[in-house]
Structure 1
Amino acid sequence: MTSGVDGLISGMDTTALISQLMQAESAPQQQLKNSVTSNQSAISAYQSINGKFLTALTAAKAMSGDDPLTAPTNAWRSAKATSTSSTVTATATAGATPGTLTFNVDRLAAAQMSTSVVNPAGPLTTGSGLDITVGGGTPVHVNVTTDTPQGVADAINAAGVGVRASIVTTDQGTVLQLNAAKTGTAGGFTVGGLATPPTTAVQAADARITVGDPTKGGYTVSSPTNTFSGVLQNVTLTVSKVETGASVTVDSDADGIAGKMQAMVDALNGVLSEIGKYATYNTATKTGGPLTADSLTRGLQQKILSQISNGAAGYGSFSKLGVELDQGGKLTFDKTAFVSAYQADPAAVEKTAGALAVAVKGVAEKVTNSTDGSLTQAIKGRTDTVRDLNNRISEWDVRLSARQAALQKQFATLETTLGKLKEQSNWLSGQISSLPSAS
């Protein structure tokens, strides 16, 4: 705030004086700026807590399903499959039925491979192109424009009929090698039009497993690949070796369900920790967070704690599920206790833990809803306040600028007036000194 009229006549530091006056004048604007900073800090805190609630919502949905009015589903239909064989892989998905299946792996899937020895003295084709039939379907005619080994291979590959061709140099001479694009009998093929008819070196075959004795109620299952689906409900089997007596067992995945419960507990602790981070008063520094006196976040904290402390009607304390509140207001989870309770009474644990998940989801949805969620509304309200405060700050900028200009003008006028008075004083002094002496 430079006035440019520092006391040339008066000797006053008018720049510093104007600055002090303007500091006093701008006190109301500074209060508005402080309020903007405070509200922006609260907005950031709300947004951070909202993010933690979204994480809790995701975890609760994993436990309860998407519809809070329905019973928990996929989380409690989780299953795991184990195999007695290192060459049989079993993968279970939600809804797999517990049980054991023993079977023999009779055969692995194979892709047909045929070869045709190239006669260096003559053409590869009979001159009319090739006719390729895959899986007993309709023959596809392949035009061969360059009747050379590479020309024939290129023509087959460009046709994209389910057969791949390559030229191989062997001890028996140059060979046109033909490979089925897929394993299984459906990928088997025939090729007509080659001067040397191809010989099948590897026969196309479906993989096959046998369950029990087919002559006594057992059965066989075939697959074009080494993967079998449907032998066990919602279980996929993948085999890689012929063997007998392989067994696959499907059980409820108590560990997996416990993992989902752990994720929900962790997410709730994340919410509680984030609220504490912004709403706690620090007695050491004697400062409070941006939400220290905020009733909204304090109420949300109490809702979460009450959901845990109240337990479940008909079941009792959630401690039976391994979920408790410690003295510091943090949730703890005992996985061993949860698994033990689930194995003892799956239905009761499913109902109780599912009810807790539905309750948590209900709270989180009301908080985070993008239209009318409580945190959403709080963020919007504070944002509107900041916008109004910034408008008022801008109005003060105009007002203070005008006030500073007025002060600079006043002090400039003062210096000018003092300058004129000094000139008059000097003139009078000169006149008096020029008067004749009384002697």
Structure 2
Amino acid sequence: MASISSLGVGSGIFSADLVDQLVAAEREPTVQRLNLKQQRTEAMISAYGALRSAIEALKAPMEALSSPDGLKAFSAVSSNESLGVTIDEAAVSRGSYSINVTQLAQAQSLASSSFADKDTTTVGTGTLTLDVGGVATEIVIDGSNNTLQGVADAINDAGAGVSAGVVDTGSGFRLVISSDETGLENAIQVSVADDDGNNTDVSGLSQFVFDGVTSNLEETVKAKDALMEINGIAISRPTNVVEDVVAGVTFTVSETGASTVRVEQDAGAVSERVQEFVDKFNALQDVISSVAGFNSASGQGGILSGDSTIRSIQSSLRGLLTTIVPGMENSDVRTLGDVGITTDPSTGKLEFDQSVFKEKLKDHPDQVTALFAEQDGVEGIAEQAVNLVTDILASDSALSNRTDGLSNALDRIQDQRDQLDLRMESLRERLVRQFTAADSLIAQLNSTGSFVLQQLAALAPQNNQNS
């Protein structure tokens, strides 16, 4: 950029400020035009972004209804609080079960004889072998841990599927070994290799033997399986959480006694899934009205008013609302209107009567399922909606192409700003050259004028003398 620090010195007319004003005046109309264009483009991108988000939000509830499982919510109720029940909706079916629990599963517990002290009384050395559920774990007892507490700590550190502790009975200390899991299959067997050479007597390490033949430990709590009758069928399981008897149902027992469990279809849960779809659809309509609607009060249309892409999306979605699934032309449930989903003509929004839906689901569950979900290779309305929305959001869709085009327009606007900067820089340099030349010329003229005046002033006395 040419220096203009001395511009105007020769004439007092052409200044750097004048150059700035002329450049600014030339720049301003183009800047205003580009600003307005950029603001509108960014507003359109934002509007398309809001539209995309609303469409994406619509996809999730439609996916939930597009499979038969989505139309088959279940609930389970137990008549007895001591019998808890949970269900896996994907696997459960309707049913009623009479359950009588006669025995709870429990973990085995073994206790040693009494010792005078837990930290100083020695208990012998050798190797303890704990067998729990068919898994054997060897534990070395030597001079570093041959006390009651030392044995307990060694067992706990071994990860043998049992826990050990020392109980102060008031008259001595006893080692207690308990299985970590309930059931007969997790019963404990203890065998030893005693350094004193006798593996079954009651001295040294062999006093902890409990191997099914020799019982030098006392079984204070027996290992038991849970026993119950389900609809008269005897069942036994190693835990109090029974999950593999009735498909999709898990029973958790905490007391013995009789209970009744009913598993029924939960029409309320299904209707809530449909309500979510209705809410998301209506939210989409609000977005469309905001960005593409017409405000009669202000006489202004939305930023995307008249946009063909939005009209196409609206037309496609509305078409689904009146679709009759092939093969259901003569059924009791043919369209969304038959299950309580109707359209308000004045707003384009959906209205949902849950009572109508629940009644139809109760009376015609298979038809309602076929209306929404894919059945025997025929797409229901929800499946069709998922496919439609997927296409609308695809990277090569009209919506994506429109957004990409606007992003490219922003790039072009920036290019125009860069070009404007170059033009203004060129204009500034040209004005500086022109003003500098004019300033120099005026300075020369001023200098010549001063010289002429000086000469005329010098001649004046001579003229006066001659006269």
- TM range, smaller chain: 0.7 to 0.9
Deviation at 1:110, TM superposition (A): 0.9
Question: Partner residue of 1:226?
Answer: 240
Contact preservation (8 Å) 1:323, 1:332: yes
Contact preservation (8 Å) 2:19, 2:431: no
Tell me whether 1:115 sits opposite 2:140 in the alignment.
no
Question: Partner residue of 2:386?
Answer: 361
* Unaligned segments of structure 1, at least 5 residues: 66-72, 213-217
> Among 421, 427, 433, which residue is 2:451 paired with?
427
Tell me whether 1:387 sits opposite 2:411 in the alignment.
yes
* Unaligned segments of structure 2, at least 5 residues: 193-204, 209-215, 374-379
Deviation at 1:269, TM superposition (A): 1.6
> Among 58, 62, 72, which residue is 1:77 paired with?
72
Contact preservation (8 Å) 1:3, 1:15: no
Q: Distance in 2 between matches of 1:410 and 1:231?
A: 98
TM-score (norm 1): 0.87
Deviation at 1:239, TM superposition (A): 1.4
Question: Partner residue of 2:159?
Answer: 160
Q: 1:200 to 1:12 in 2, by over 3 A?
A: same
Contact preservation (8 Å) 2:105, 2:182: yes
> Among 434, 437, 442, which residue is 1:413 paired with?
437
Q: 1:41 to 1:170 in 2, by over 3 A?
A: farther
* Matched letter for residue 159 of structure 2: G
* Matched letter for residue 436 of structure 2: A
* Matched letter for residue 61 of structure 2: A
Deviation at 1:148, TM superposition (A): 1.9
Q: Distance in 2 between matches of 1:226 and 1:124?
A: 39
Question: Partner residue of 2:128?
Answer: 130
Aligned residues: CA RMSD = 2.7
Q: 1:46 to 1:114 in 2, by over 3 A?
A: same
3-state SS of 1:230 partner:
coil
Contact preservation (8 Å) 1:142, 1:159: yes
3-state SS of 2:239 partner:
coil
Deviation at 1:262, TM superposition (A): 1.0
Tell me whether 1:272 sits opposite 2:291 in the alignment.
no
Deviation at 1:304, TM superposition (A): 2.1
Q: Distance in 2 between matches of 1:142 and 1:231?
A: 38
Q: 1:114 to 1:278 in 2, by over 3 A?
A: same
Larger radius of gyration: 2
Q: Distance in 2 between matches of 1:358 and 1:7?
A: 77
Contact preservation (8 Å) 1:105, 1:241: yes
Q: Distance in 2 between matches of 1:249 and 1:40?
A: 57
Contact preservation (8 Å) 1:115, 1:200: yes
What whole-Å deviation, never above 9, does each CA across 1:83-129 have from its counterpart, x for those lacking one? Answer: 11112122222242212110101111211122224523785544212
Question: Partner residue of 1:191?
Answer: 190
Number of matched pairs:
424
Question: Partner residue of 2:230?
Answer: 211
Question: Partner residue of 2:195?
Answer: none
Q: Distance in 2 between matches of 1:410 and 1:247?
A: 102
Contact preservation (8 Å) 1:133, 1:139: yes
Q: Distance in 2 between matches of 1:17 and 1:324?
A: 68
Contact preservation (8 Å) 1:118, 1:149: no
> Among 49, 59, 62, which residue is 1:47 paired with?
49
* Matched letter for residue 54 of structure 1: E
Tell me whether 1:106 sits opposite 2:102 in the alignment.
yes
TM-score (norm 2): 0.82
* Matched letter for residue 134 of structure 1: V
> Among 350, 353, 362, which residue is 1:331 paired with?
350
